[in-house]
Structure 1
Amino acid sequence: MKICVTAAGECIDAEMDTRFGRCPYFVIVDSETMDLNAIKNPAASTSGGAGIQAAQSIADKEINVLLTGKVGPNAFPILSAAGIKVMAGASGSVADAVKQYKEGLLQETSAPTAEAHASMAASGRGMGGRGSSGGSGRGTGNNSGFNK
C-alpha cells in the first residue's frame, strides 16, 4: 500500500506538514517495505489554486492513503475521485504519521477539513469575505512626516 504524507522535508524523519496544498514535499511510503519516494510539491509556492494543483500532482501516483492536516473543498473531490483516502489527526515525523496510521489511530475524513482560501475569499465566498481589522487604532499618534 502506498501512503502519502505531507512533509516539510524529503526523508522519513522529516516533520509532517499539516498543509496539503502548500506543503513543500509529498513523501510516498510503501507500508510493507518502508521504501520511500519524496516529490516536491509543484503547488507549494503558487499564487492560487494550490490545493487543486497539489491534488492533481499526486492523483496519478497510485496512492491509497493521504496523511495530512487539512484538505480544502477544491482538492478533496480530486483526491476522492482518484480513490485516495484522506486521514486526519496525524502528527510528528513522516515515520510517526505512518506508524499512527498502521496502528489504526487516525480517522478517515469524508469531507473537506479546511475552508476555501485566496481567490474564493477575495470574491466574498468562504471565510466570510470580510476584513478583520475592525478599524481600530487609526488616527492616533504622530504621523512622522506623512501627509506633509
Structure 2
Amino acid sequence: MKMCITAKGDTPDAQVEERFGRAPFFLFHDSEQDTYTAETNAFADAAGGVGPRSAQVLIDHGATVLVTGQLGGNARRAIEGAGIEVYQATAGSTVREAVAAYRENQLNRIL
C-alpha cells in the first residue's frame, strides 16, 4: 500500500503539514518496502486551484491513503473521486509518527 502524508519537510522526521494543497512536501510511504519518497509540492504557492492539482500528484503516485489536516472542497471532491481514503493527522506529529498511528488504527478517517 502507498500512503501520502503532507509534510513541512522532506524527511520522515518532518512535521505533518495540516494544509493539504499548500503542503510544501508530499511524503509517500510504501508499506511493503517500508520506504519513504519525498516530492516537492509544485503547487504549494500557486494562486488558486491547488487542491485538485495536488490531488492529481497523489493519483499519479498510486496513493490509496492520505494523512493530512484539512482538505478544501475541490481537493476533497478530487480525492473522493479517486477513491483515496483520508485520515486526520494529529497536530504536531511527524510523518513517521503519523504512519505509526495509522498502522495502530489511531487516526480518525475523514473521507
Q: TM-score, normalised by structure 2?
A: 0.92
Question: Which residue of structure 2 aligns with residue 8 of structure 1?
Answer: 8
Identify the range of structure 1 (18-27 vs 47-56) with the bigger mean alpha-carbon deviation. 47-56
Question: Which residue of structure 1 aligns with residue 50 of structure 2?
Answer: 50
Question: Which residue of structure 2 aligns with residue 108 of structure 1?
Answer: 109
User: Does the Cα contact within 8 Å between 2:16 and 2:89 map onto a contact in 1?
Assistant: no
Partners of 1:104 and 1:3 in 2: CA distance: 14
Cα RMSD over matched residues? 1.2
The residue correspondences of 1:4-43 to structure 2 (distance < 5 A) are 4-43=4-43
Cα deviation, residue 109, structure 1: 1.2
Q: TM-score, normalised by structure 1?
A: 0.70
The C-alpha deviation readout for 1:28-52, integer Å capped at 9, x for no partner, is: 0012332011111111000111112
Q: 1:102 corresponds to which letter in structure 2?
A: R
Cα deviation, residue 58, structure 1: 1.6
Question: Which residue of structure 2 aligns with residue 85 of structure 1?
Answer: 85
Partners of 1:2 and 1:77 in 2: CA distance: 20
Query: 1:89–1:39: structure 2 CA closer, same or farther, 3 Å change rule?
Result: closer
Q: How many equivalent pairs are there?
A: 110
Long gaps (5+) in structure 2? none
Moved over 4 A (4+): none
User: Does the Cα contact within 8 Å between 1:26 and 1:41 map onto a contact in 2?
Assistant: yes
Partners of 1:35 and 1:71 in 2: CA distance: 25
Partners of 2:110 and 2:63 in 1: CA distance: 16
Partners of 1:58 and 1:64 in 2: CA distance: 8
Q: 2:22 corresponds to which letter in structure 1?
A: R
Cα deviation, residue 98, structure 1: 0.4
Long gaps (5+) in structure 1? 111-148
Q: Which has the higher relative contact order, 1 or 2, with Cα contacts under 8 A spaced 6 or more apart?
A: 2
